[in-house]
Structure 1
Amino acid sequence: MLVGHSTGGGEVARYCGRHGTKRVAKAILISAISPLMLQTDANPDGLPKSVFDGFRAGMNEDRAQFFIDVPTGPFFGCNRPGAEVSQGMIWSWWQQGMIASFKGAYDCITVFSETDSTEDLKGMEIPVLLLHGDDDQIVPIDTSARAGIKLLPNGRLKEYPGGAHALPNLNAQEINKDLLDFLKGGKVMEWCSRWTLISLDR
């Protein structure tokens, strides 16, 4: 069973598209970039390339400040009124960015913005659970999960009201429960009273 967050969710989709799902029972994509982040003629609701060019410029100009600005702003939703800010999480995010390869982190911007996993999602016949915050400022839900659920043959979407991009950090207990319930084969429809569920089976 495969679980991926953000770009990792795109990696799970690409793995299944490339290698098939014969050895994969289920998959969970959390705040995932799939099917496509970049605005194109075929994907008019995506984000303009200028947004990602801004990320690249920020890294080039001041890598250390870039890795502070992102977590103190949209990644954890710290820029929202009344947000509970964890300085520890911010500095942990900064540390991870600073010890990563500059080229690897820089190239990742192209990967998470331009990778099109539309066909990968269409071929994932296994049960797939999408978990996404409806206030995700990094990977907007309309561009990703709400578009992706329409492509999955056996997909379910749980939306976290007010949820930011960093769901595994900020909503750890709820995420863990949802993961275990899904992976154990729990009756997902019983959760409807607690959250928005969209199911597409064909």
Structure 2
Amino acid sequence: MNRARLNRVINSSSREKGVETVSVTPVKATVSTITTRDGVAIYFKDWGRGPAVVLSHGWPLSSDSWESQAFHLASNGFRVVTHDRRGHGRSSQPWDGNDMDHYADDLAQVIEALDLRDVSLFGFSTGGGEVARYVGRHGTGRIKKLGLISAVPPLMLKTDKNPGGLPIEVFDGLRAASLADRSKLYRDIASGPFFGFNRPGATVSQGMIDAFWLQGMQAGHKNAYDSIAAFSATDFTEDLKTFDRPTLIVHGDDDQIVPIDASAHAAKALVPHAVLKVYAGAPHGLADTHKDQLNNDILAFLKS
């Protein structure tokens, strides 16, 4: 039955019953995804209106991990786009391409598809690597400002040239635990070092633990496994050297996941013009534990 015929039937029935007639408007389906050139569906959220801000999330999370910042910025005059990295959240789970080059190219295609310009681009943890590699591969033609929050650059892995990094055994242990019982791994990370809940006197939030676990379990098993190498063994030194826009670096000095000396302090040395804000006693997951402080710092930086 076509729409016109359906309207006549409903209107006729309504008149017979003595009720007011209502026209039927078809429901339109909209999907918040873009499809990359290699066929991967990338889910995104697009909140608010105003200057564009794009937020890239950490491992093994999704765009939901940015919701406090996205809500705050969108409520204060910005258009905020957050996306689920390939293999994470609601995006496709391709077997291949789980590396920083693909992550950066996917980010570029989200920005291009939405025709975003003068973008302020922030990355948390693994997302900081994605942002750095985006700048290294695609430049800053569309970028206004940059931010690295608890971010992995320049390099997490300990090497001869990076003696302050973490030994390969740490990441091999993550891979082994992921294969053995990744659900337990995510609970252990969230209930321990990620939010600093393993510190004496810490106020533990079961909600934060549950949210981390839920987002982690949404990620593809192979994708999250491969991403361990992507965030730990990728060297972003040369990418950081190309940062030519105002840059904000935020890191907690009690980050047990991405220690501050090999990350934020080293990144600051490579991006001398960057503003470095160190949160005393803050853990890796400061976007939740210190969300008000971070929200205010990001907003002030965007307005500066």
TM over 0.5: yes
CA RMSD of aligned residues (A): 0.7
Deviation per CA, 1:162-194, whole angstroms, max 9, x where unpaired?
Answer: 000001111111101100111111xxxxxxxxx
1:165 and 2:280 correspond:
no
Q: TM-score with structure 1 length normalisation?
A: 0.90
Counterpart residue type for residue 282 of structure 2: G
C-alpha distance in 2, partners of 1:133/1:97?
22
Counterpart residue type for residue 130 of structure 2: E
Q: Which protein has the larger Cα radius of gyration, Structure 1 or Structure 2?
A: 2
1:129 and 2:248 correspond:
yes
Aligned residues: 185
Within the candidate set 119, 124, 135, 1:5 is matched to: 124
Name the residue aligned to 2:269.
Answer: 150
Counterpart residue type for residue 261 of structure 2: D
Unaligned 5+ segments in structure 2 are 1-119
1:46 and 2:156 correspond:
no
C-alpha distance in 1, partners of 2:222/2:122?
25
C-alpha distance in 2, partners of 1:70/1:39?
21
Runs of 4+ in 1 over 3 A off after TM superposition: none
C-alpha distance in 2, partners of 1:115/1:143?
13
**Higher relative contact order (CA closer than 8 Å, sequence separation 6+):** 1
Name the residue aligned to 2:60.
Answer: none
Counterpart residue type for residue 238 of structure 2: E
Counterpart residue type for residue 152 of structure 2: I
Displacement of 1:153 in angstroms is 4.2
Name the residue aligned to 2:227.
Answer: 108
Secondary structure of 1:74's partner?
Answer: coil
Name the residue aligned to 1:62.
Answer: 181
Secondary structure of 2:248's partner?
Answer: strand
Counterpart residue type for residue 60 of structure 1: L
Name the residue aligned to 1:16.
Answer: 135
Counterpart residue type for residue 172 of structure 2: D
Counterpart residue type for residue 49 of structure 1: I
Name the residue aligned to 1:30.
Answer: 149
Counterpart residue type for residue 36 of structure 1: L
1:72 and 2:191 correspond:
yes
Q: Matched residues, percent identical?
A: 58
Contact 1:125 1:153 in 2 (8 A): no
Unaligned 5+ segments in structure 1 are 186-202
Contact 1:37 1:143 in 2 (8 A): yes
Secondary structure of 2:261's partner?
Answer: coil
Counterpart residue type for residue 27 of structure 1: L
Secondary structure of 1:105's partner?
Answer: helix
C-alpha distance in 2, partners of 1:153/1:163?
23
Secondary structure of 1:129's partner?
Answer: strand
Secondary structure of 1:62's partner?
Answer: helix
Q: TM-score with structure 2 length normalisation?
A: 0.60
Name the residue aligned to 1:139.
Answer: 258
